[in-house]
Amino acid sequence: MDHLDEISVEELQDALDSVEENKPTQRLLAAIAYRNGVTQTELAEWHDVGRRTIYSWLMRLDTDEPLAQAVSDAHRSGRKRKLSESQQKEFERTVHGPPEEVGIDAPAWTPALVQEFLEDRYGAEYSYPSCRRLLKEAGLRYQKPRRTAAGAEESQEEEFHDELKKSERRWTPK
């Protein structure tokens, strides 16, 4: 690869000092190793990627832009959220209160309950894992029911089992 002949190891090391993310660091380290005689095949094995990926990393350096910028990926915005910012804030306020406040007969918020609520209220369909993520983003945490010690009195044991049924899979504010 003739294009790396124009870039010194010192330039690559200077660029390495100015990057913070993992991918650009990995790409610059591969380029430094390549300039020091390591083959693309060896680099592919070291980094657990395909040889074509190493080639692409090295080709990125054949540009007029600064090295630190050449090895960095462009910003990716991702998918647009299903809830608007105001809907998201309203949802977060809602889940910080009990479900009874919005007319739902349940002792606590669960991902399944959130899934149903979001579809009814906003017409937004969310998967079960996404509902867990939304609860976590809202500042809630998953709380497992506490178990009691073995050998408790029978009346306490029944009371415990009743409470356990009510409190399963509860999300509570942190």
Give the pLDDT score at 69.
Answer: 86
Which amino acid, one-letter code, is at 100?
E
Mean pLDDT of 140-159: 69
Is pLDDT at 130 greater than 90 in this prediction? Answer: yes
d(CA 77, CA 36): 37
d(CA 117, CA 124): 9
pLDDT digits (tens, 9 = 90+) for 84-103: 999 999 999 999 999 999 99
Q: Within this chain, do residues 96 and 146 fall inside the same structural domain, yes or no?
A: yes
If one counts the domains in the chain, the total is 2
Residue length of the chain: 174
- Start-to-end CA distance of the chain, whole Å, equals 55
Q: Within this chain, do residues 125 and 164 fall inside the same structural domain, yes or no?
A: yes
Please state which of the ranges 13-17, 76-80, 86-90, 126-130 shows the lowest mean pLDDT: 76-80
Residue 76 domain-assigned?
no
Is pLDDT at 17 greater than 70 in this prediction? Answer: yes
Asked whether the beta carbons of 13 and 69 are under 8 A apart, the reply is no
Give the pLDDT score at 150.
Answer: 61
pLDDT digits (tens, 9 = 90+) for 34-75: 999 999 999 999 999 999 999 999 998 888 888 888 888 888
- Residue-wise DSSP of 83-111: S-HHHHHHHHHHHTS-GGGGT---SSB-H
Q: Within this chain, do residues 64 and 133 fall inside the same structural domain, yes or no?
A: no
Give the pLDDT score at 3.
Answer: 61
Q: State the number of CA atoms in the 13 A half-sphere of 17 facing the CB.
A: 5
Is pLDDT at 139 greater than 60 in this prediction? Answer: yes
Residue at which a domain ends, from 70, 93, 119:
70
Residue 140 domain-assigned?
yes
Domain span at residue 120? 85-173
Residue 78 domain-assigned?
no
Give the pLDDT score at 70.
Answer: 86
Residue 75 domain-assigned?
no
Give the pLDDT score at 136.
Answer: 92
Tell me the pLDDT of the chain averaged across its residues: 85
Give the pLDDT score at 145.
Answer: 64
Q: Within this chain, do residues 125 and 65 fall inside the same structural domain, yes or no?
A: no
